[in-house]
A and B are shown apart, each in its own frame.
Chain A
Amino acid sequence: MKKHVLFIKHTLIFISIIIVGCSNINDESRLTIAISADIRGFDPAMASDIRTGEVISLVYDHLVRFGNGTELLPSIAKDWSVSEDGCTYVFLLDPSARFHDETYISAQDVIFSIKRVLDPSGQSPQTWLFERIVGAKKFLEGQTKEIGGLEAINDYTLRIEINKPFAPFLQYLAMPSAAIVNPSKSDKIRNFPAGSGPWKLDYWEKDGELVFLRNDDYWGNRPKMTGLKIRILTEVLTRSAEFEVGNLDIFNIPAIEMLQWRQKKEWKDKIFSIDDLNIWYIAMNCSRPPFDDIRVRKAMNLSLDREKILKLLLADTGILASGPVPPLLLKGSPPDPYPYDPLRAIELLKNAGYDNGFQTKLWAAGGSEIFHVLEAFQSYWGAIGIEIEIMRSDWNVFKTAVRAGRPDLYYLDWFADYPDGENFLFPLFHSSESMTKRNRYRNPEVDDLIERIQLLPNSSQRDSLIERTNRVIFNEAPWVFLWHGQTNVVTQLKITGYVPKLIFNSERYADIIRE
Chain B
Amino acid sequence: MVNFIIRRILHTVPVLFGVVVITFILMYMIPGDPVVSMVGERYDEATIHKLRKELHLDDSLPRQFVRYVGNVVRGDFGKSFITGGSVSEELLRKFPNTMMLAVASMIIAIITGLTMGIISSLKPQSILDKITMLFALVGISAPVFWVGLMLVLFVGVYLQWLPPTGFGGIEHIILPAIALGLRSAAYLARLTRATMLEVLNQDYIRTARMKMLPEWKVILKHGFPNILIPIITVIGTDFGSYLSGAVLIESIFGWPGIGRYALEAILKRDFPVIQGTVLFMALMFILANLIVDIFYGIVDPRMRIEGKNG
Contacts and interface: CB of A to CB of B under 8 A. Distances in A.
A242 B50 contact: no
Contacts of B51: 123
A38 B269 CA distance: 17
Contacts of B254: 233-235, 237-238
Nearest to B166: A238
A126 B40 CA distance: 8
Given A125-B42, A238-B254, A399-B36, A2 B92 contact: yes
A237 B37 contact: no
A212 B84 CA distance: 23
Contacts of B297: none
Contact of B267 (A235, A242, A394, A400): A394
B165 interface: yes
Given A125-B43, A397-B31, A22 B36 contact: no
Contacts of A128: 42
Interface string B205-242: 00000000000000000000000000000000000000
A417 to B, nearest CB: 9
Contacts of A14: 100, 169-170
A18 B169 contact: yes
Nearest to A205: B93
Nearest to A18: B170
B164 interface: yes
B85 interface: yes
B85 A396 contact: no
B47 interface: yes
Nearest to B170: A18
Nearest to A126: B40
B268 A396 contact: yes
B39 A125 contact: yes
Interface in A1-49: 2-3, 6-7, 10-11, 14, 17-18, 22, 38, 40-41, 48-49
Contacts of A85: none
B280 to A, nearest CB: 12
Interface in B237-274: 252-254, 256, 267-269
Contact of B165 (A17, A241, A427): A241
Interface in B63-84: 83-84
A394 B166 contact: no
Per DSSP, chain A at the interface is: helix
Nearest to B93: A6
B103 to A, nearest CB: 10
Contacts of B83: 38, 40-41, 206
Contacts of B62: none
Contacts, number: 104
B96 A400 contact: no
A234 to B, nearest CB: 6
A208 B83 CA distance: 14
A396 B163 contact: no
B41 interface: yes
B32 A400 contact: yes
Contacts of A125: 39-43, 47
Interface string A384-406: 00000000011111011001000
Contact of B164 (A2, A6, A208, A238): A238
Contacts of B171: 22
Contacts of B42: 48, 125-126, 128, 427
A34 to B, nearest CB: 10
A407 to B, nearest CB: 14
Contacts of B33: 396, 400
B164 A396 contact: no
Contacts of B267: 394
A123 B51 CA distance: 8
A308 interface: no
A128 B169 CA distance: 46
Interface in B17-72: 31-34, 36-37, 39-43, 47, 50-51
Contact of A6 (B40, B92, B157): B92
B144 interface: no
Contact of A399 (B31, B37, B100): B37
A190 interface: yes
B84 A190 contact: yes
Nearest to B51: A123
A387 to B, nearest CB: 24
Given A125-B39, A125-B42, A394-B268, A6 B165 contact: no
Contact of A206 (B40, B90, B163, B268): B90
A410 to B, nearest CB: 14
A190 B86 CA distance: 13
Interface string B160-195: 000111101111000000000000000000000000
A419 B100 CA distance: 48
A399 B36 CA distance: 7
B165 A396 contact: no
A17 B169 CA distance: 6
B147 interface: no
Interface in A222-278: 233-235, 237-238, 241-242, 245
Interface in A114-154: 123, 125-126, 128
A358 B274 CA distance: 38
Interface string B85-98: 10000101110110
Contact of A396 (B34, B97, B253): B34
Given A7-B99, A125-B40, A242 B166 contact: yes
Contacts of A396: 32-34, 36-37, 268-269
A451 interface: no
Nearest to A20: B169
B92 A237 contact: no
B63 to A, nearest CB: 23
Given A10-B100, A206-B90, A237-B164, A394 B50 contact: no
Question: 7 closest Cβ contacts across the A-B interface?
Answer: A48-B40, A17-B169, A397-B32, A125-B39, A125-B40, A235-B254, A238-B166
9 contacts: A6-B92, A14-B170, A123-B47, A125-B42, A241-B164, A394-B267, A396-B269, A399-B36, A400-B33
Given A394-B268, A396-B32, A396-B37, 14 more contacts: A6-B96, A14-B100, A14-B170, A18-B170, A48-B40, A125-B40, A126-B42, A206-B90, A207-B256, A235-B166, A241-B157, A242-B166, A393-B32, A395-B37
